[in-house]
Amino acid sequence: MAFPQARAVVLLSGGVDSSTAAAIARAQGFELFALTFRYGQRHGAEVRAAERVARAAGAERHVVQTIDLRVFGGSALTDAIEVPKSDTVDEIRGGIPVTYVPARNTIFLAFALGYAEVIGSSDIFIGVNAVDYSGYPDCRPEFIVAFQHLADVATKAGVSGTPIKVRAPLISMSKAEIIREGMRLGVDFSFTHSCYDPTPEGSACGHCDSCLLRRQGFRDAGLVDPIHYATDDC
């Protein structure tokens, strides 16, 4: 079936990176089909943020898929493990942190690949970044290259000679560069959510790895972060 406009599946978490990736896809002329996961994460704020971002980006459709990764646990985001906190980016521990959700991006991209085949999408956009990130193995260029190989051999589209492209436009950008690009493309970052451990009211904690990287990115970009943080020092 032919479609009048190229379609892209956009993995949308509601954070800075995925919101900017969605804006890039839209700027490149794609019709957006947003895909968000309610995967058993410890809060629902990021799903609500993704809904706001999808509406603002003019997504043709926004699917929120439920998959409960709490059955496995193994992460501070899906299990009874304390989210690490620090005062500065320099204090973030090296290695793979406990906020890593095992195989999360592999699972998300697998769903996106199936969705793309069904709707005739030529491209999948994912906002992974290998510069200012928390050390997750599934945010690296090697992972994207490997998943592209999988997509080429595991789908009807791939073996028919029209492979679905896995695009990671932010992979080599700093957080500040991502924020500047999002601003240039009209992303309203007040709609976004990044915190791993927000307050019951939904305010960002300001001290988890994700908050620290976001705050540093806005400072480096020379911009004011428009979201509310729970502590005055933010």
Beta bridge partners of 34: 10, 62
Q: How far apart are CA 81 and CA 229, in angstroms?
A: 22
- Both tokens of 103, joined, read 């195989």
Query: Above 70 in pLDDT, residue 1?
Result: no
pLDDT of residue 93: 75
pLDDT of residue 158: 94
Query: Above 80 in pLDDT, residue 132?
Result: no
Q: Is residue 231 part of a domain?
A: no
Q: What is the DSSP string of the chain?
A: ---SS-EEEEE--SSHHHHHHHHHHHHTTPEEEEEEEE-S-S-SHHHHHHHHHHHHHT-SEEEEEE--GGGT--STTTSS-PPP--SSGGGS-SSS-TT--TTHHHHHHHHHHHHHHHHT-SEEE----SSSS---GGGSHHHHHHHHHHHHHHSHHHHTT-PPEEE-TTTT--HHHHHHHHHHTT--GGG----SS--TT--B-S-SHHHHHHHHHHHHHT----S-BSSTT-
Tell me the pLDDT band of 229, cut-offs 50, 70 and 90. very high
Give the CATH number, domain containing residue 31.
3.40.50.620
Q: Is residue 232 part of a domain?
A: no
Name the residue among 10, 13, 21 with its Cα closest to residue 170.
21
62-93 pLDDT, tens digit per residue, is 999 999 999 999 999 999 999 999 988 887 87
Distance of CA 70 to the CA centre of its chain: 19
Q: Is residue 53 part of a domain?
A: yes
Tell me the pLDDT band of 189, cut-offs 50, 70 and 90. very high
Residue 107 · residue 126 · CB < 8 Å: no
Q: What is the CA radius of gyration of the chain?
A: 17
pLDDT of residue 28: 97
pLDDT of residue 133: 67
Q: Is residue 62 part of a domain?
A: yes
Q: How far apart are CA 105 and CA 142, in angstroms?
A: 13
Q: Is residue 229 part of a domain?
A: no
Query: Above 70 in pLDDT, residue 4?
Result: no
Domain count, the chain: 1
- Both tokens of 140, joined, read 């690296």
Q: Is residue 205 part of a domain?
A: yes
Distance of CA 99 to the CA centre of its chain: 14
Query: Residue 111 belongs to what domain range?
Result: 7-221
Q: Is residue 1 part of a domain?
A: no
- Both tokens of 141, joined, read 């260029």
Query: Above 60 in pLDDT, residue 2?
Result: no
Mean pLDDT computed over 45-51: 95
Q: How far apart are CA 105 and CA 147, in angstroms?
A: 10
pLDDT of residue 3: 56
Q: Is residue 85 part of a domain?
A: yes
The proportion of the chain whose per-residue pLDDT surpasses 90, expressed as a percent, equals: 86
Q: How far apart are CA 36 and CA 67, in angstroms?
A: 11
**Mean pLDDT value across the chain:** 94
Mean pLDDT computed over 3-19: 92
pLDDT of residue 191: 98
